[in-house]
A and B are shown apart, each in its own frame.
Chain A
Amino acid sequence: GDSVTQMEGPVTLSEEAFLTINCTYTATGYPSLFWYVQYPGEGLQLLLKATKADDKGSNKGFEATYRKETTSFHLEKGSVQVSDSAVYFCALSDKSASKIIFGSGTRLSIRP
C-alpha cells in the first residue's frame, strides 16, 4: 500500500542554518504531496503542497519539489528561525482524497 518515509528526528539546528528534511513516498498512480507542521500544543497546519511532478510548493520560506523520478518531496529552508521549531509531517493523498497518509513526523528544534 501507499506509504511515506521521512527522516527520523529530532533535528537540532542553530538559527539561520540551512534545513533539509527528507521525505520519500511509495504510491500507485500520481498522488498529491503535502507538508504539514504541528507547533507545540496545536493541531496540524498545511505548510505547502504539490499536486503533480516537478511542482514546487512554497510557503513561509519553506520549499519542496515533487520529484517523481526519485519519489521524493524533501522539505528545505535556507535560514531557519527559532519560531520554526515544530514537528513536520510529510504526507500524500491519492486523487480521490479518500485518505491522507502521513509519515512519522520529524521534530525540529532551533537553537538561538
Chain B
Amino acid sequence: DSGVTQTPKHLITATGQRVTLRCSPRSGDLSVYWYQQSLDQGLQFLIQYYNGEERAKGNILERFSAQQFPDLHSELNLSSLELGDSALYFCASSAVTGSVSGNTIYFGEGSWLTVV
C-alpha cells in the first residue's frame, strides 16, 4: 500500500460526458502528479501540483483540468469525453520538491476509465 488513494477505481461513462477523478496523497506529501496510461501511449505525464499551485504541465488536453485543494487532495476533471480517453489514470505524490537527494514518487492504484 503506497498510501496514495484514488477514487473511483473503475468508471464507465458515455462519450461527451464529464467525470472527476479524486486523489488523496500520502500523509505529508505536498506534490501531486497525474499520469495517463493507455495501451498505445504508454505512461504519459499530465500535470503536477505542489501545495495547491500548478508546478509542471505535460501532455494534458485542454478538455482536462486539475486542481489541488487546501487539504492537498487533488481532482482531475475530464470533459467532453472521447473513446480515446479510455485509460488508466494514475495519481502519485511525493514529499517536498527541491530536495538535492532526489524525490521518490509513490503511485496510487489508478482509476480505470472506460468511455463507451
State the interface size on chain A (CB cutoff 8 A).
Answer: 23
Interface bits A41-75 vs B (CB < 8 Å: 1, else 0): 01111100101000000000000000000000000
**Chain A residues with CB below 8 A from B85, complex form:** none
Interface size, B (range): 20 to 34
* Cβ-defined partner of B101 (8 Å) among A43, A44, A51, A102: A51
Q: Which of B14-22, B66-74, B104-112 faces chain A?
A: B104-112
**A/B pair count, beta carbons within 8 Å:** 65
In the assembled complex, the CB of A39 is this many whole angstroms from the nearest CB of chain B, namely: 11
CB nearest neighbor in A for B95: A97
Residues A6-33 near B (CB distance < 8 A): 31-32
Are A104 and B42 within 8 A (Cβ)?
yes
In the assembled complex, the CB of B20 is this many whole angstroms from the nearest CB of chain A, namely: 19
Are B106 and A97 within 8 A (Cβ)?
no
Binding site for A on B (CB under 8 A): 2, 31, 33, 42-43, 45, 48, 55-56, 58, 90, 92, 94, 97-110
